A and B are shown apart, each in its own frame.
Chain A
Amino acid sequence: MFQRWKESITPTDIVMWLIGGTLLLMVIWGSVATLVAGKYTGRHWIDFVIFGLAQGSIYALIATGYTMVYGVLRMINFAHGEVFMSGPYTAYFVAAAMYRSDFLDKHPFTALFVIFVVAMAISTMIAYFLEKIAYRPLRGAPRLIPLITAIGASFFLQYMFRGLYGSGFQAYPVIKIFEGAWVIFGIRILKFQLVVIVAAILLMAALYSFIMLTRAGKAIRAVSEDKEASSLMGINVDGMISTTFIIGGMAAGAAGVLYALMFKQVHFFMGFIPGIKAFTAAVLGGIGNIPGAMLGGIFLGLIESVGPSLFLDGLGIPAPYQLKDAIAFTMLVLVLIFRPMGIMGERLAAKKA
């Protein structure tokens, strides 16, 4: 047993473990030093965690779109960030109109419902046509070709929306009932953050139960395991791929509205960075695995929010928040060194690799 283990280790593994071990040591050292210094109280840490959860649940919703498409098509849909941007950016005009006519203040829930419907409809439509126009004709092509097409589609969508709506910022109207904070069990939580977290959890639960419990979900899972066998079983493979894009688009549209609720700004380039982060989250969780993507998103959000203070403050590094992306990607490296398939990627590795 030991002999076999010894033989399977390559020098690369040892170097990777050394890098991983050093990073891990630094993380632990930094955290201990920060906690000993006692600059932050328990309430600060709780604040950091809540900020991270709110940001992370948005990443998680976008990441499900990446991971589902990867599941059925084995391709990274780099235009997913633009699917995410298109919905809330279009819904902004509806929201602004309702704000000007006071409808938003008088009937906030109806207004919010309308915003959600518009945003999700637009994002879904974009995702559906994206698949139909840009990816379907390339179904049989080598893997690199759809990937390049996805990047092209991403630019096309970005600049199409810039052409449509202009290159400036648009400020989302503030929904007054969600302003301020609630105190729950002595913990102060901003209202809209709680709304974002709860909405994201509900959406993810709905999405997961759709995939696990419905007939269509079962068919999608079948397609992601074996396209040919599922088509022999009478499953409409192209239809199921379209369904996947539609669900991913809906999740992205909803995530976009939550994002707009949190940051109150929309812009034609707003999908780029969340898109990259969500892709990272999907890889972190094990690409192709839906619960993995959700977990990866929340993990990434938490690391971004807690990490700079926890790991870097103790090491005496000035301006740690400038390094938050570096921390997030270091964590990705760490996870991939010790678990190359991502946090929950094991089953995928056995079945599909």
Chain B
Amino acid sequence: MNSHLGYGFNQQQVEFFNTVIQKGEELMKRILTLFIVLIAVFCLAMPAAAAGKGVVKIKKGEPVHIAYWFVISGPNTSLGMDTVRGIEIAIEDFGKKIKGHPIKLTGEDTGCGPEGGQAAATKIASDPSVVAAIGSNCSSAAKPGVPILWAAGIPSVSPSNTAPYLTDPKRGDGYSGYLRTCHNDTVQGAVAAQFAKDVLKVTSAATIHDGSVYAEQLAQVFAANFKKMGGKITAQEAVSPGDTDMRPVLTSIATGKPGLIYYPIFIAEGGHITRQGKEVSGLEKTKMMGADGIFSPDFYKAAGEAAVGMYHTSPDFSAFPAAYKDFLKKHQEKYGKKPEAPFHAHSYDAAMMILKSIDKVGVAGKDGSLTIDRMKLRDAMYATKGFKGMTGTLNCDKYGDCADPRIAVYETNIDNIKKGEMPTMPIWKPYK
């Protein structure tokens, strides 16, 4: 039937095929147009990208805007507030003005996680008046946040991101506007492993991380170093943020009979592990060791007296220059208390570094305006050498690691818990 149309199709079917072909052609045309437009946009965008990151022009009397993105809510609030105070003191010490312009400081909350980091960075990046950013506190927040800021031409200096990834040569271009004034965890993990092996004389250890970039990488560095020194890693466990019942995971770890558990995690989960470690059979004699993320009075609140006798790796305050004493005095006067977390001085240095770099590259116009070239600002920050900071002498390398890392080991005693204050003198340090 209907053989005159060929292939045995009827009239209706052929019409249908024709419309399909027609529609297909229309679609192809549309796709082609879209493609051409995209190419045109790309070509236009290329020279703009090559020319740098643009400039910030600040009119006469208007402030120089610096933003921080820290964790200022949730269990790790003390970490964030501590660093905010560092910036505030730095701005006061700088004289509250850059080339006649006042300094404006605003902040966003990262919540110490990737989602919060992304949201905070996006908010800061959408404000064209922001010259530079300080943050984040947690490496998990920095990982998605830094590329967003740098895409908007905002360089960011972190006082407390310690994960090795962020200044790794393979980190990618999105991070080339990123620097940090704190140590890299390749140093902290090695110090912890050396202390465990040489001073505590333990031969086996277990690690616990919480899936965050910071904890996972630090636990990894510790394990690698400990193995290299001839120690045995019995387990590399992990918990999730928000977990409360750590007894099962600790029981599982206890089957390997480790001499030490290294858990470089955050306050809530760290507190549970510290308390519950004492209750699990097989871990009564196991030594407990945390890192700088839980070196805070809030951690003592969370862990209670179970924290007595545990060790922390953290920056060595006794190795800070003499100016640090003045800083502590100012802190006491301004806020009526001692610093609550380990990174206030690093934050002070981060802010000072940014302010001095702006001072260096900012061009004052005749009408009293100030023009800052974003790319030049970034280059000036990376060129920081021999900078006498609150944490020692800062020298930035080409990946943005600026710290003079001095990591020491602290031990908690009953007085620390009762007063809710961190120990001030380290019990051991790897250098003289």
Chain A residues with CB under 8 A of B255: 39-40, 44
Of residues 71 to 126 in A, which have CB atoms within 8 Å of B's CB atoms? Answer: none
Contact digits for B240-275, partner A, Cβ 8 Å, 1 yes 0 no:
101111011101101100000000000110011001
Besides A169-B75, A169-B267, A190-B279, 9 more A-B contacts (Cβ < 8 Å) are: A40-B255, A47-B247, A47-B251, A171-B271, A264-B275, A308-B249, A319-B209, A319-B238, A321-B239
Q: Are A169 and B248 in contact (CB under 8 A)?
A: no
The distance in angstroms between the C-alpha atoms of A322 and B241, with both chains bound, is 9
Chain A residues with CB under 8 A of B254: 44
Q: Is A221 an interface residue (CB 8 A)?
A: no
Evaluate whether A324 and B298 lie within 8 angstroms (CB atoms) in the complex, with A51-B251, A168-B77 already known.
no
The distance in angstroms between the C-alpha atoms of A328 and B255, with both chains bound, is 23
Q: Is A22 an interface residue (CB 8 A)?
A: no
- From A51, A190, A267, A324, B75 is in contact (CB under 8 Å) with A267
Q: Is A67 an interface residue (CB 8 A)?
A: no
Q: Is B211 an interface residue (CB 8 A)?
A: yes
Tell me how many residues of A have a C-beta within 8 Å of chain B: 39
Contact digits for A307-343, partner B, Cβ 8 Å, 1 yes 0 no:
0110001000011111011000000000000000000
Q: Are A318 and B74 in contact (CB under 8 A)?
A: no
Q: Are B304 and A322 in contact (CB under 8 A)?
A: no
The distance in angstroms between the C-alpha atoms of A188 and B284, with both chains bound, is 14
Q: Are A318 and B236 in contact (CB under 8 A)?
A: yes
- 6 closest A-B pairs by CB: A319-B238, A322-B238, A321-B249, A305-B248, A51-B247, A169-B302
Q: Are B74 and A167 in contact (CB under 8 A)?
A: yes
Q: Are A168 and B240 in contact (CB under 8 A)?
A: no
Q: Is A269 an interface residue (CB 8 A)?
A: yes
The distance in angstroms between the C-alpha atoms of A52 and B247, with both chains bound, is 9
Q: Is B237 an interface residue (CB 8 A)?
A: yes
The distance in angstroms between the C-alpha atoms of A306 and B247, with both chains bound, is 11
Chain B residues with CB under 8 A of A264: 275, 304
- From A48, A169, A265, A272, B251 is in contact (CB under 8 Å) with A48
Chain B residues with CB under 8 A of A174: 304-305
Contact digits for B299-322, partner A, Cβ 8 Å, 1 yes 0 no:
001111100000000000000000
Chain B residues with CB under 8 A of A168: 75, 77-78, 298, 301
A174 smallest CB distance to B (angstroms): 7
Q: Is A36 an interface residue (CB 8 A)?
A: no
Q: Are B302 and A171 in contact (CB under 8 A)?
A: yes
Q: Is A55 an interface residue (CB 8 A)?
A: yes
Evaluate whether A322 and B211 lie within 8 angstroms (CB atoms) in the complex, with A44-B251, A263-B244 already known.
yes
The distance in angstroms between the C-alpha atoms of A146 and B271, with both chains bound, is 37
| A-B residue pairs in contact (CB < 8 Å), sample of 18 | A39-B255, A43-B281, A51-B251, A167-B73, A167-B74, A170-B301, A174-B305, A263-B244, A263-B272, A263-B275, A265-B268, A304-B248, A305-B245, A308-B252, A319-B238, A322-B211, A322-B238, A324-B240
B416 smallest CB distance to A (angstroms): 14
Chain A residues with CB under 8 A of B280: 47
Q: Are A48 and B301 in contact (CB under 8 A)?
A: no
The distance in angstroms between the C-alpha atoms of A313 and B77, with both chains bound, is 36
Chain B residues with CB under 8 A of A47: 247, 251, 280-281
- From B73, B237, B301, A321 is in contact (CB under 8 Å) with B237
Chain A residues with CB under 8 A of B245: 51, 55, 262-263, 304-305
Chain A residues with CB under 8 A of B247: 47, 51, 305
Chain B residues with CB under 8 A of A190: 279
Q: Are B244 and A52 in contact (CB under 8 A)?
A: no
Of residues 147 to 176 in A, which have CB atoms within 8 Å of B's CB atoms? Answer: 167-171, 174
Q: Are A322 and B240 in contact (CB under 8 A)?
A: yes
A279 smallest CB distance to B (angstroms): 15
Chain B residues with CB under 8 A of A188: 281
Chain A residues with CB under 8 A of B211: 322
The distance in angstroms between the C-alpha atoms of A325 and B211, with both chains bound, is 14
Q: Are A321 and B251 in contact (CB under 8 A)?
A: no
The distance in angstroms between the C-alpha atoms of A223 and B252, with both chains bound, is 47
Of residues 43 to 99 in B, which have CB atoms within 8 Å of A's CB atoms? Answer: 73-75, 77-78
Contact digits for A247-278, partner B, Cβ 8 Å, 1 yes 0 no:
00000000000000011110101001100000
Interface centre among B73, B74, B248, B275 (most CB of A within 10 A): B248
B255 smallest CB distance to A (angstroms): 6
B383 smallest CB distance to A (angstroms): 39
The distance in angstroms between the C-alpha atoms of A179 and B60, with both chains bound, is 66
Closest to A318 in B: B236
- From B239, B248, B267, B301, A52 is in contact (CB under 8 Å) with B248
Closest to B251 in A: A47
Q: Are B301 and A171 in contact (CB under 8 A)?
A: yes
Q: Are A267 and B77 in contact (CB under 8 A)?
A: no
Closest to B282 in A: A44
The distance in angstroms between the C-alpha atoms of A11 and B209, with both chains bound, is 43
B31 smallest CB distance to A (angstroms): 35
Chain B residues with CB under 8 A of A320: 237, 252
